[in-house]
Amino acid sequence: MTKSLQPRQLHCAFDSVHTEFNKQIETVRQRLSPALLDEYYDGVEFFAKIGQGPSISITFISMMYWVGEHFGEGSIKKITDFSYQTIARSPNKDFLVDFLLSFMEVINHTKADELDEYLAFIDYHLAKTTYSVHGIHVTHSSPSFKALLSKIGMILGRLDYKGAYAWVDYGLRYFKRQPDQQEAFFSLSTSDSRAVFQRQRKGLLFIDVERQLYLLQKSLWGKDYVYAPYSSDFERLQFFRPYIEDGTIRLPDVYSELNGVPPLRRYLALISHLIAHQQFTKAVIADNLSPHQRLFAEVFEDARVEYLSAKRYPGLVDIWRNLMPELDEFDCDETKQSGVKHRAALLSRALIDDSHSYSNADILDYAARFKALMTNKKNTSTEDSLALGISFLAKTKKASDSLADLYFDNTEASYRDDNRMMWRFIEREDEGEKLFIAELYNDMEPVAVEAIPPRYYDEWDCFHKSYKPDWVSVYERLHSHSDPSKIDELLERHSNLVKQLKRVLDLLKPQNKKRLRYQEEGAELDLDIALRSVIDFKNGSQPDTRINTDFEHDSRSVSVLLLLDLSESLNDIVPGTNRSILELLQEAVSLLGWAVEQLGDNFAIAGFNSDTRERVMYYHIKGYGEHWDDTVKSRLADLKAEYSTRMGAAIRHGAHYLDLQQSDKKLMLILTDGEPSDIDVPNSKVLIKDTHKAVQECQQKGMYPYCISLDNKADGYISDIFGSHYSVIDRIESLPKELPKLFMSLTK
């Protein structure tokens, strides 16, 4: 609203300031109250008189009326006073223009009553990063203030103030006296900074609910997919969509509440939708389909798999419906914009929400066709969705669909994937490409092929008594394989020991029997059930045919992970022999693997090594669901020893899988020949303390970590890591005999 004001003269000696002021003043008078207008004049005049040139006043002119309009009366004066006292009169005066310019981002990410909180945050950062050199009476400007201001929109948009302070404190803790590293940290250009930043974000972090989601996945769908979260914050992944591929679910690493749906339910909606596709979608050939045909086919296929899933779990429909964008039919002007995405969003809503308010005849017609298909046809398929999608596009196609200006606003359902599993492209499978890929993989070192993205783990900082978030990258994959007969030869070499073990194993096997009733086939007739079935039969009722009873041995409720240190030192020759530690380890693990197979325990074998925190390799040698067969033997036969021993990260990753096992007792055996170490950590104490912390984390989750050390100098450090839960085998050549015995004593 235009205000009637007596014009006030601007008192300023700079012509450039007057020029800029005259350009803006009419707009300013329309937007600011009389009190704010006085603050505005005062600020422009004040900064023109402090002896720092006209640039501050010119910036003030262009920015402060926006600020005053957003924060209200008193805000312009408050910023003027803060700018002068805290910045202009300090070594940071060269950054005053940057500070004023940053308010364009600030007003987009703060509420009207948050100005004081923002200024306090800036004051805190400046107070901590503006420093003096000891013995020299000169104070230096903050090396990171400008970097912080350059990211202020992202900081305020993704962190609350508690998280922002925590992020700043972390940077100051490690880089207060290192100007270059400090600047890099606050510009979010280092992996450390981004990791800490992500951990502090608003919303629910996936890592905090991963176990809950895994258990939901397992209980609802009986599936065992691996999760690989992604972030769009730093990777320009604005249009990146969730997907499922090769047993891995890719999903966002943080969710906030949306449309009243809590973040945990959003994750449930996403995972359920992806698994529904995995169960009900069969890929169809897409080479001859246009992008628009594929788009509408995907709309019908999304609705089809959700309809089928809802038969089993009806409660999912409400979550999906609440997450579906709700658009008005007339949001998109299809005479000026391409309305393909808008039309697809309307159709998606109509297919899942019977109470929609749309009146478009084509939308109503195809929603009815879809409902009729799902109701009347017993076994629908992806081909049905494709046919509906092509037909819908043909019926509704408009000339404006090909316009470059495409309507996108609120057209994507956040829980839906990119539908890659729905399509198969024959053109991509031609022989030339196959040959190229084969040559590429033949030329690559095996270590360069990463099956799935890394999993990030915290690492304990013993000096600052806190975790370094997402500090270590763990890559996992199946171990390479060779000739399994090598393992059979090792077992044959120890045939006498195998016979001894067999006698001990027979004693360890559970002798108690458990009765199983209601069996159609069994060892004995269950008289109670049989008589009841006869009575039902004579009364004309359907008799129960499960009239037998059977027996099975009570199994040991134990899960074991054997974690092998595969670092370079395993290549050392054992004194007094011509054999390496690695060869003896293979013998010992072979005997143990055979023994555990006889017992029937839930048992897995994995190995690890590391080449700095950026690359910890975790090799699956035997999975919990695998038997001791040639496949497992071939992996064990190909073991290689290289790199270093970052043990804490490997223990955490192994614990992730061990924790998922349904057993009363969970044992992690760590077999190593030395202390934790890596080439990027000169102080051995750091990784020893981190490994101890990882052991404590396992114990808190009900797991029992136990170390078997082959290092005759282990007494100097091993108790600091494992307490009393360790054994040291001084004579390494006795390992094949000692390892199985130790296992049996621990699981008895």
Place of tokens 């600091």: 720
Q: Is the pTM of this model over 0.75?
A: no
State the pLDDT at residue 451: 46
Q: Is residue 431 part of a domain?
A: no
Pick the closest to residue 108 from 162, 71, 138 (CA basis).
71
pLDDT band at 537 (very low <50, low <70, confident <90, very high): confident
- Asked whether residue 322 carries a pLDDT value surpassing 90, the answer given is yes
Structural contact between residues 343 and 331, judged by C-beta atoms closer than 8 angstroms: no
Q: Say what the alpha-carbon torsion angle 623, 483, 615, 199 is, to the nearest 10 degrees.
A: -10
Only one residue has tokens 């990791």, namely: 195
Using the predicted structure, report yes or no on whether residue 438 has a pLDDT greater than 80: no
Q: Are 646 and 472 within 8 A, CB to CB?
A: yes
Contact yes or no for 736/584 (Cβ under 8 A): yes
Residue 11: closest CA among 35, 43, 36: 43
Confidence of residue 232 (pLDDT cuts 50, 70, 90): low
Residue 627 shares a structural domain with residue 547: no
Distance CA 406, CA 403 (A): 7
Is 446 contained in some domain? no
Boundaries of domain holding 21: 15-199
Which pLDDT belongs to residue 551?
Answer: 65
Q: Are residues 233 and 129 in the same domain?
A: no
740: confidence class by pLDDT, cuts 50, 70, 90: confident
**Which is more confidently placed, 577 or 648?**
648
538 and 660 share a domain? no
Cα separation of 185 and 174, whole Å?
A: 10
pLDDT for position 324:
94
Same domain flag for 143 and 217: no
The answer to whether residue 473 is domain-embedded is no
User: Are 124 and 212 part of one and the same domain?
Assistant: no
pLDDT band at 195 (very low <50, low <70, confident <90, very high): confident
Same domain for 581 and 521: no
Residue 659 has pLDDT above 50, yes or no: yes
Please check whether residues 295 and 388 belong to one and the same domain.
Answer: yes
Helix intervals (H) in 600-645? 630-637
For 250-266, what is each residue's pLDDT tens digit?
Answer: 998 889 899 999 999 99
Based on the fold, state whether residues 167 and 219 are members of the same structural domain: no
Structural domains in the chain (count): 4
Mean of the per-residue pLDDT values for the chain? Answer: 88
- Report the candidate in 282, 258, 285 with the shortest Cα–Cα distance to residue 269: 258
In a 3-state reduction of DSSP, which class is residue 289?
Answer: coil
Rg for the chain, CA atoms, rounded: 34
Task: Give me the pLDDT at residue 386, please.
Answer: 95
CA distances from 179 to 140, 197, 525 (A): 11, 19, 82
Residue among 436, 440, 474 at smallest CA distance from 457? 474
According to DSSP, the residues that pair with 604 across neighbouring strands are: 561
The pLDDT tens digits for 32-50 are 999 999 999 999 999 999 9
* Of 392, 426, 460, the domain-final residue: 426
Strands (E), 203-347: 204-205, 226-230, 243-245, 248-252, 254-255, 284-285
Residue 733's alpha-carbon distances to 244, 571, 574, 740, in angstroms, are 47, 14, 7, 14
Query: Across-strand partners of 459?
Result: 468
**207-216 pLDDT, tens digit each:** 889 989 988 8
On whether both 144 and 214 belong to a single domain, the answer is: no
Task: Inform me whether the pLDDT recorded for 528 exceeds 80.
Answer: yes
The H-or-E segment that residue 103 falls in is helix 103-109
Residue 417: pLDDT band with limits 50, 70, 90: very high
Query: pLDDT (tens digit, 9 = 90+) per residue, 348-363?
Result: 999 999 999 999 999 9
Are 408 and 338 within 8 A, CB to CB?
A: no
Q: Report in angstroms the alpha-carbon separations of 700 from 101, 693, 697.
A: 49, 11, 5
pLDDT above 70 covers a percentage of the chain that reads 91
pLDDT, tens digit (0-9, with 9 covering 90-100), for 482-502? 999 999 888 888 777 777 776
177 occurs within a structural domain: yes
Q: What is the pLDDT of residue 542?
A: 79
Q: Is there a single domain that holds both residue 98 and residue 185?
A: yes
Please indicate, yes or no, whether residues 191 and 250 belong to a single structural domain of this protein: no
Q: Which of 498, 528, 553 is the last residue of a domain?
A: 553
The CATH number of the domain holding residue 644 is: 3.40.50.410
Q: Looking at the structure, do residues 22 and 91 belong to the same domain, yes or no?
A: yes
**Would you say residue 443 lies in a domain?**
no
DSSP bridge pairs for 564: 607, 671
The answer, yes or no, to whether residue 270 has pLDDT greater than 50, is yes
In a domain, 458, yes or no: no
- pLDDT at site 509: 58
Which of 184, 199, 214 finishes a domain? 199
Which has the closest alpha carbon to 341: 296, 304, 385?
296
> Is 435 among the domain residues?
no
In a domain, 436, yes or no: no
